[in-house]
Amino acid sequence: MSIEIPAPFAGGRDVVRPEWIDYNGHMNVGYYQVVFDLAADVFFDFLGLTQDFRKKHGSTTFALEAHANFLREVKQGDPLRFEARLVDFDPKRIHFYQEMFHGTEGYLAASQESLSSHVSMETRRTSPFPEELLGRLAAIKAAHSKLPRPWQLGHVIQATGLKRP
């Protein structure tokens, strides 16, 4: 029996909260990480990394790295929707990518590429995913690998044309 895998996964939703607004009148850069993390929780549930899974296996995930691109501003009260895809995984890590869209106007406001590791809560060290999860991750990766590759994946920060003293 095969499972239907949405590609990309669309599940996270939020609204830009008043406390997330900075002196420029738009969402502060630090809150992009917060809202991407909230959306990642929904995506991780889809992957199978649910609260029940974590409790059963005494494990969790830790963020290792994240790279955001801020493309258009969002303001207080703006609805947000998120799409995510599994880029890759190995026995201990998942590499994923998320996009944040304005919920009614539809424009891409930001994206984030992230790497997380599976961690034993007993040792607080990276540990292999349980075998039961690896098959699901492989099926999701296969479905998501058919999507066009976003330019942001693996993007290196570079400033062209900067003049050195």
User: What is the tens place of the pLDDT at every residue in 85-125?
Assistant: 999 999 999 999 999 999 999 999 999 999 999 999 999 99
Please confirm whether the linkage preceding 130 is cis (ω < 30° from 0).
Answer: no
Do the beta carbons of residue 85 and residue 10 sit within 8 Å? no
Residue-wise pLDDT for 19-41, tens only, equals 999 999 999 999 999 999 999 99
Q: Residue 1 above 50 pLDDT? A: no
pLDDT of residue 44: 98
Asked if pLDDT for residue 163 goes beyond 80, the answer is no
164 band by pLDDT with thresholds 50, 70 and 90: low
The confidence band for 165, taking pLDDT boundaries of 50, 70 and 90, is: low
Contacts of 32 (CB under 8 A, 6+ apart): 68, 70, 100, 110, 112
Residue 2: its pLDDT value, please? 60
Topology of domain 9-144 in CATH is Thiol Ester Dehydrase; Chain A (3.10.129)
Instruction: Convert the pLDDT of each residue in 40-71 to its tens digit.
Output: 999 999 999 999 999 999 999 999 999 999 99
Residue 92 and residue 83 in contact, taking contact as beta carbons nearer than 8 Å:
no
What is the rounded radius of gyration, in angstroms, for the C-alpha atoms of the chain? 17
Per the CB < 8 A criterion, the answer to whether 126 and 92 are in contact is: yes
Please give the average per-residue pLDDT across 124-153, as a whole number.
96
Task: Read off the amino acid at residue 143.
Answer: A
Check: CB of residue 134 under 8 Å from CB of residue 144: no
Q: Give the C-alpha distances (Å, rounded to integers) separating 6 from 11, 46, 144.
A: 10, 10, 8
pLDDT tens digit sequence for 6-19? 999 999 999 999 99
CB 29, CB 165: distance < 8 Å: no
Domain-wise residue ranges, the chain: 9-144
